[in-house]
Amino acid sequence: MLSPFIAQGGNGGQTLLLVVIGIVLAVTLLLVAVFARLFWLWVKALLAGAQVSILSLILMRLRGSPLEEIVRVKITAAQNGVHVGAHEIERASLQGANLDRAMQTLLDAREAGRDTTWSDVVAGDLEVWLTDDAK
């Protein structure tokens, strides 16, 4: 299959090699760019005290979840002493909840002395969202 390229005076083999090297370099650069973004988000979360694993970020990326928003809300939770997992935040996002509003509602409720959970707040946010759509 490759012999027609090689039989063209020896130059075809070099051209094919350069094309293969170019493709490998392009794929490598693409992978580095994707992982650099994930690594940066992981470092941000780590430095802020919000535990999010690299594997979680990769899986969220594959599911099409909004990584930056999830990490931002996870950092806000960690900095305010709220224990909520990245998977719970992702689930709320995939359900259509407004993550920033839900986190602020949870923080306001805790500040007011009400004992509420992330799941309760997300359910309430989704209920408001459905009610607004019905109007």
Predicted local distance difference test score (pLDDT) of residue 34: 83
**pLDDT at residue 125 greater than cutoff 70:** yes
Predicted local distance difference test score (pLDDT) of residue 78: 95
Among 8, 108, 55, residue whose Cα is nearest residue 16: 8
**CB neighbours of 121 closer than 8 A, spacing ≥ 6?**
102, 103, 105, 106, 109
Q: Any idea what DSSP says for residue 58?
A: H
**pLDDT at residue 31 greater than cutoff 60:** yes
86 or 34: which leads in pLDDT: 86
With bands split at pLDDT 50, 70 and 90, how would you rate the model's confidence at 4?
A: low
With bands split at pLDDT 50, 70 and 90, how would you rate the model's confidence at 41?
A: very high
> In the predicted model, what is the mean pLDDT of residues 15-44?
92
- CA distances, 104 to each of 17, 30, 84, 114, 126 (Å): 56, 36, 13, 14, 15
> In the predicted model, what is the mean pLDDT of residues 58-85?
95
> In the predicted model, what is the mean pLDDT of residues 112-124?
90
With bands split at pLDDT 50, 70 and 90, how would you rate the model's confidence at 133?
A: low
